[in-house]
Structure formats: structure tokens, C-alpha cells
Amino acid sequence: MVKVIFWDFDGVILNSMKIKGDGFVELFQGYNILDVQKLEKYHYANGGISRFEKIKYFYSEILKKDICEDEIMILAEKFRTIIEKKLFDKSNLIYEVIEFIKENYKKYNFHIVSGAEHDELNSLCICFDIEQYFLSINGSPTKKAVWVKNILEKYNYDKEETILIGDSINDYNAANENDVIFYGFNNIELKQYGNYIDNFERFKV
């Protein structure tokens, strides 16, 4: 019997992948377009990874250049400014998921574990008036798998009663690393890993 649900945010609760993809393109305008397209592709393939890691990936793996933590933080702040206005638009919320959360938050223990920046994530949940449905809201730069591990220990949850819902292979890996059941959503490529949610209106756990 499921008692605990870990939720990814981007792509599961909020349709924000394109907003952030466009944000990376704007952040690195002036760079070689083919290099920026590689980052774009990496972004869409790795929804559960933070902007900090994606910026580092762009430099270290695509540009083959070193970048220090201070430079990453400066670029991450510029990225936040670029996407902020579009990100805080309630029309980007995924309606069927929000309805499921509102109808079921008293039946389960809900936690958000996201690659989104921690303070921004909490501000978004307050803006959208959904923060009251979650026992905790947790974002980057702390990695998702670490958040899952810490929450399992803090609340003494039974792993066999816990699932994680996400839209990327990184969400699957975070669940697998912590021995909790994974449910894919909003990314048909995840069907190969077993449990998949086609529609929240028919979803039962």
C-alpha cells in the first residue's frame, strides 16, 4: 500500500521544460549555435538535473573549458532572471496533476524533490498556492537522490510504501538508487522502465 509520493516538479507539476530550454538558448546567445543546440538536447533529455549541473556540463563537456563555482552561480542567476516572468505563469501548471494533488494530499504524504533551484521552487509553489499540499519542497543544488534519501530517513518512511513520480531518466535513477518504486509521466520513453501514468484522472495507487 502506497503512503508516500515523491513528486518531480518540472514536467510533472509545471510545464516548464520549454521555458527553461529557451532560457538556456538566450543565456548562451553569441556562442556557437551547434554547441548551444547540444546543450538544448541535453536539457530535454535530463529533466531532473539542475541548472547548475547543466551550465557546468555546457562548459566542461561541450566547450571543453573549465568553469569555477562562482561563475556557475553568476550564470545561474542570469538564467533565473531570463525565465522568471514566464515561469510564474499559472497557465503552465499541469491541470490533471494539480487536481490529483488537491484531491489526495490528505491520503498520502507528498514531498517535492526537484532539480529546480530550491528558493525559486518554493516561491513558485507559494505563487501557485500549492505549498500547503506538501510536507516538504526540496530543490537544487542538492541532488534529487540525496533529498529522497534524507527524507526517507527523517520521516522513517517504509521504502515499500513509497513511490517517486517523474518525467526523466534522472528521476528513475533517483528512485532506483533509493529502492523506491518509480512511475513515469509525460515522457513515453519512460514506459520501458515499467510503471507509467498515461492520465492522472485514471491513476490509482
Cα-based angle 24, 27, 32 (whole degrees, multiple of 5): 85
* Separation between Cα atoms, residue 7 and residue 113, nearest integer Å: 6
* Separation between Cα atoms, residue 13 and residue 8, nearest integer Å: 7
First to last CA, the chain: 8
Write the CB contacts of 183 (distance below 8 Å, at least 6 apart in sequence).
Answer: 163, 164, 165, 166, 195, 196, 197
Q: Domain 4-15+91-202 belongs to what topology?
A: Rossmann fold (3.40.50)
70-118 residue pLDDT tens = 999 999 999 999 998 888 999 999 999 999 999 999 999 999 999 888 9
146-169 residue pLDDT tens = 999 999 999 999 999 999 999 989
pTM: 0.82
* Separation between Cα atoms, residue 58 and residue 82, nearest integer Å: 18
* Separation between Cα atoms, residue 189 and residue 186, nearest integer Å: 9
